[in-house]
Structure 1
Amino acid sequence: MGVQALGFIETRSLTASIEASDVMTKTADVWVVGTEKIGSGLVNVVIQGDVDAVTAAVKAGEAVAKEIGEVYAVNVIPRPHDDIAKILPSI
């Protein structure tokens, strides 16, 4: 996989997750790996890029998502193990 970092934002709103995705990709040099509708209105967005870019993008995405809906969880994983790719959502 060779990913330097993965970032996650989980919201309780599809609209908030879309807005967060837009802001994250405009804030830093990251791209969306995929999304996952979890249930009960929860939507998880996964991004990847270098550690600093993913960290900045997740912070920006979290801020905008909180304005629109509820942010359930955020996380950044620097240097994820290659096997993580097996469980990531795909677009």
Structure 2
Amino acid sequence: MRAHAYSLGMIETLGLPALIAAADAAAKAADVKVATYEGADGGIVTVYVIGDVSSVQAAVDAGAEAAKRVGRLLHSHVIPRPDENVPKMIKNLMRSEAQEEAKPQPAQAKAEPTLAEQSINDLRKLARSFADFPLSTNDINTAKKEDLIRLIEEKQQGGGDKA
């Protein structure tokens, strides 16, 4: 069985307002994609987020806290690199992934993305490329995106040497 390269996070709430608050907080907390949501009987709804393991964990934690503040959190869970059959259980997740992969890429060359447009993984790689970056490798791996952007910009403006 093949595992996917991304992680799958789930936040289950009672009621739609808590779910929307959870999805919003999750999307803002880390570099993740809110893939889809599903409803069950009795007002139970679940939102699914995908991304790298640390980003999904941070997003699920933030989303769970938001759901508790707004309504009722039932469960939250992160599956690192789920087996390929797991996403097939989620009705729209595979469809949205297939649509992303099928999008035609423009033939023209794009300008290099700004720091804010880069993924958290790319920012972590960039931070590790500086010889005297103010965070340790472990701290870089757990840093928030906005903190990495701020520190990288400071290093670039200050002429920090790359390794």
Shorter-chain TM-score range:
over 0.9
Moved over 6 A (4+): none
What code does the residue aligned with 1:11 have? T
1:37-82 CA-to-partner distances (Å, cap 9, x unmatched) read 1110110001000000000000000001100111111000001001
* AA aligned opposite 1:88: I
Q: What amino acid does structure 2 have at the position aligned with 1:79?
A: R
Larger radius of gyration: 2
The structure with the largest strand share of the pair is 1
User: Larger % of helix: which?
Assistant: 2
Q: What residue identity is the alignment partner of 2:91?
A: P
Pair 1:34–1:3, CA change in 2 (3 A):
farther
Paired with 2:85 and 2:66, the residues of 1 have a C-alpha distance of 31
What is the aligned counterpart of 1:57 among 55, 59, 78? 59
Distance 1:23 1:67 in 2: 11
The question of whether the paired residues in 2 share the 8 Å contact of 1:23 and 1:57 is answered with yes
Segments of 5+ residues of structure 2 without an aligned counterpart are: 97-163
**Gapped regions of structure 1 (runs ≥ 5):** none
Normalising by structure 2, what TM-score?
A: 0.53
- Does the aligned pair in 2 maintain the 1:33–1:89 contact within 8 Å? no
Conserved? CA contact 1:30–1:49, under 8 Å: yes
Structure 1 match to 2:22: 20
RMSD: 1.4
Which amino acid letter does the alignment assign opposite residue 84 of structure 1?
V
Aligned pair partner of 2:38 in 36, 39, 42: 36
- 1:70 matched residue in structure 2: 72
Code of the aligned partner of 1:58? V
Say how many residue pairs are matched: 91
Q: If the length of structure 1 is used for normalisation, what is the TM-score?
A: 0.93
